[in-house]
Structure 1
């Protein structure tokens, strides 16, 4: 266990170090002065701040190594620079936008699990039958649909054609909810506001279409993964031995089938969250969802290079830490997994 913890800790540290180097290098690849890109401030403004406090200077006259050292110290202190356009600290803007993307991804993953796992088991239990072929056909179609196109179709049907659900946004303009956690439903429950049920329902209605746009594609993938795992489990020798002992199909599934079929599925499902987050960043732009994806797109349109650099670093760090942490947890809790799988991390 100690070896696994040390190994994954080293991997995370090395990967984050490489990401910091890439983020720092972007300042020299973007147009303009590298110090301005790093800070979001003009050199004249930075010089004034330098005269007031020596800790704010990025030492433009120094070496690249000294600039990188100061860049890392600023990152750890929470000073990620300011936006060229808004003039607001990038750390605060990212911390407001990133939870919205995580919330959307989490709801989509939950919905995908609730639908995809039962359908995958159903397809496996009806292997080579009409139910299996129907679900497989639906999964192929669903997986082949681009996320952005599916989001536009949902808007066209449920918002423009029938008018059942909101077209965009996270909450109607008539409501105002203080952002404490960044998760809108949780903020509503924690907030001291009037007519809380109506505000909660409004936020829930705004969540439906973006969540469905992401969850449909992910559900089809989970269905196929579950189906394959269940079929392999049911064809294994210990399942055949259970049938030979006189156990019924229900007893075999409840005692042996479900548990052993889920073991290889869980690592694959956990690794889908980064993909969900990527799809969420695409969907955010279409639904004007105030997440990190929509924020980055606006930064690209406005050529806000300091915001692009900081946003890409924040998303990359979150994905790396989440992915490796989940893989480490599964490695520690599942003794059946191979101890040496260097190429799968």
Structure 2
């Protein structure tokens, strides 16, 4: 176990170091003067330019500049956004929380839809309902996320008027920031008409989260189906039938638990896919997440926001992936390497 933890932690640190160096290099890869890219000040006097160069350590060696950049990252000084003038650490934390919220709710929807249908398909293996669900999963997996979002807006917002077109909550409500999850923040707040605010936020959340969950639900369905088929055809299941247990008893006592054990780690790993798709959907629904923020930063040539946003997203995805893999290997001996399994 210790060897697994040390290997994953060292991998995480090394990869984060590479990401931070690439993020630091973006100031030189962007077109134009690196100092202008970092400050946004173009027509400055020689004295102002010299003071800014000293502030950002631009006259020092590249190693000193990188060390200065890393120190600023750990101290929370990520710079200022050109468009809003606000600290980037604050803006990115808010937008990243909105993206994680959208991905988390979409993951819950994927479990609610994909797990029952996957069990149903696996239990009706090679029957009409199995083929129907597999066909539906292929269609759902083939639908581009942005196209599904646009169709959802056209049908449920424009035509039927059931859900709002965009945004996170109506402008009528001013919800104080606490956790970054809008539904939780509403419950924790003391705003008037809390119940109506919660319903309004929930209505804003339905279309973007469902649009993201379509593809992931099909993946959950297929993974669950494959696991159920393997478990129900295993020898210990046949032995349970031989002991006189009914199909329902076999499924409840042995089938569900043994089918979920190998697929739960795979399902958790779908969170990074959801986060990537959420960044695409955010621009369509004007969701104030990190994806929408990065697109706006690119349009406005807000180079510090681009650099900080890319680093934040990459670090989050990397940390979640490596940590999930470490936890899976610790608690699931079947996934360990031979040298780890014998230690």
The TM-score normalised by the length of structure 1 is 0.93
Matches within 5 A, 1:281-320: 281-320=279-318
Aligned to 1:33: 33
Partner Cα separation in structure 2 for residue 74 and residue 27 of structure 1? 15
Q: 1:156 aligns with which of 134, 154, 157?
A: 154
Cα deviation digits, residues 309-340 of structure 1 (max 9, x gap): 11000000001111111111121122232335
Q: 1:245 aligns with which of 234, 243, 246?
A: 243
**What's the offset of the Cα at 1:41?**
5.5
Structure 1 range deviating more: 23-32 or 283-292: 23-32
Aligned to 1:85: 83
Aligned to 1:126: 124
Structure 1 range deviating more: 237-246 or 33-42: 33-42
Check whether the contact 1:300–1:308 (CA below 8 A) recurs between aligned residues: yes
Across the aligned residues of Structure 1 and Structure 2, the Cα RMSD in angstroms comes to 2.1
Number of residue pairs matched by the alignment: 340
> Is the counterpart of residue 280 in structure 1 residue 278 in structure 2?
yes
Structure 2, gaps ≥5 residues long? none
Aligned to 1:4: 4
**What's the offset of the Cα at 1:290?**
0.5
Structure 1 range deviating more: 242-251 or 270-279: 242-251
Q: 1:39 to 1:310 in 2, by over 3 A?
A: farther
**What's the offset of the Cα at 1:204?**
0.5
Aligned to 1:199: 197
Q: 1:270 to 1:310 in 2, by over 3 A?
A: same
Structure 1 range deviating more: 333-342 or 279-288: 333-342
Partner Cα separation in structure 2 for residue 340 and residue 146 of structure 1? 40
Check whether the contact 1:40–1:82 (CA below 8 A) recurs between aligned residues: no
> Is the counterpart of residue 18 in structure 1 residue 30 in structure 2?
no
Matches within 5 A, 1:142-221: 142-221=140-219
Aligned to 2:94: 96
**What's the offset of the Cα at 1:273?**
0.5
SS in 2 for 1:336: helix
Matches within 5 A, 1:261-276: 261-276=259-274
Q: 1:243 to 1:27 in 2, by over 3 A?
A: same
**What's the offset of the Cα at 1:249?**
1.4
Cα deviation digits, residues 155-197 of structure 1 (max 9, x gap): 0011100111101001111111111111100110011111110
Check whether the contact 1:165–1:206 (CA below 8 A) recurs between aligned residues: yes
Check whether the contact 1:168–1:289 (CA below 8 A) recurs between aligned residues: yes
Matches within 5 A, 1:36-51: 36-38=36-38, 44=44
Q: 1:340 to 1:104 in 2, by over 3 A?
A: farther
**What's the offset of the Cα at 1:51?**
5.8
Aligned to 2:70: 72
Q: 1:47 to 1:229 in 2, by over 3 A?
A: farther
Partner Cα separation in structure 2 for residue 280 and residue 341 of structure 1? 38
Q: 2:257 aligns with which of 256, 259, 280?
A: 259
**What's the offset of the Cα at 1:264?**
1.7
Partner Cα separation in structure 2 for residue 49 and residue 199 of structure 1? 49
